Amino acid sequence: MAALGEETKRLLAQTSTPTLTTQLFKRGLRNTFIQGVVRLNHDRSGVMVGEAYTLRYIPAREDLNGPGEYADRSHPQRRSIEECPPGAVLIADCRRDVRAASGGDILLTRLAGRGVAGMVTDGGMRDTPNIAKLAMPVYIGAPSAPASFHGHAAVDAGVPIACGGVPVYPGDVLVGDADGVVVIPRHLADEVARDAVEQERFEAWVLDEVRAGRSTFGLYPPDEETRRRYQAFRESSGRA
């Protein structure tokens, strides 16, 4: 599949996760919002947009996992830090187990330095004060000091995973804002982006109407008269 286009990225950065989940719902997809993650640093960076680079963990085993495992450059976690493409989002399946971290400030600083667009994990994250200062958006299950080898073994990168109860396929488009992270199947990204921006425009106008004191009845969802009024607004503002 072709790489995610710049225009689609630009449009997605103007939308919000609520709008995107509604667009996906209209296409029959209900389970697209990653559950149980929070944004570490939402005061410091904007909307996160990027294609998913996936990393899969299973529970650690005492004879296999420990500090020594990371010396191997083919180790899936370490490889993902150096090979996740700039502009992509590294997303980790930790089975929603936050008892150990799936990264810390050194790894996340490297990711940010390499131009990666963000990181999402349904596991823990350590060194959160330093990570909260990065410009790169980071979503985590919870702060958790123990290193990954306390509880997680990285076994694969680039395979389909679960994250926060949602299926994520490599290349799916991840969009994150202050509400959380939505997963857009890759083949729907262009049309969802386009329609979401239209929906955002309409809802921004609706919100202005509500702020001006109008009832939501007939306004949201719109009846015929509301549709006419919005059309007139769009024409007068030069958008139609």
Residue with tokens 């007939």: 218
Binding residue (CB under 8 A) for its own copies from 119, 166, 173, 192:
166
Residue with tokens 């769009």: 234
Q: How far is the CB of 35 from its own copies (least distance, A)?
A: 6
CA neighbor of 116 nearest in space, from 171, 74, 53, 170: 53
- Any contact of residue 198 with its own copies (CB under 8 A)? no
Distance, CA of 14 to CA of 121 (rounded, Å): 24
DSSP string spanning 63-125?
TT-SGGGGG-TT-HHHHHHHHSPTT-EEEEE-TT--SSBS--HHHHHHHHHTT--EEEESSEE
Query: Which of these segments, 84-92, 190-198, 201-209, 232-240, binds its own copies (CB under 8 A)?
Result: 201-209
Distance, CA of 162 to CA of 150 (rounded, Å): 21
Distance, CA of 59 to CA of 66 (rounded, Å): 12
Q: How far is the CB of 151 from its own copies (least distance, A)?
A: 8
* Identity of the residue, 6 or 131, whose beta carbon is nearer to its own copies in the bound complex: 131
* Identity of the residue, 206 or 238, whose beta carbon is nearer to its own copies in the bound complex: 206
Q: How far is the CB of 163 from its own copies (least distance, A)?
A: 9
- The 10 Å Cβ neighbour count of residue 152 is 29
Binding residue (CB under 8 A) for its own copies from 11, 29, 90, 136:
29
Residue 104 amino acid letter? G
> Binding to its own copies (CB under 8 A): which residues in 92-151?
95, 98-99, 101, 104-107, 109-110, 113, 126-130, 143-147, 149-150
# binding residues, its own copies (CB under 8 A) = 84
> Binding to its own copies (CB under 8 A): which residues in 9-28?
16-18, 20-22, 25-28
> Binding to its own copies (CB under 8 A): which residues in 46-75?
58-63, 66-68, 70-71, 73
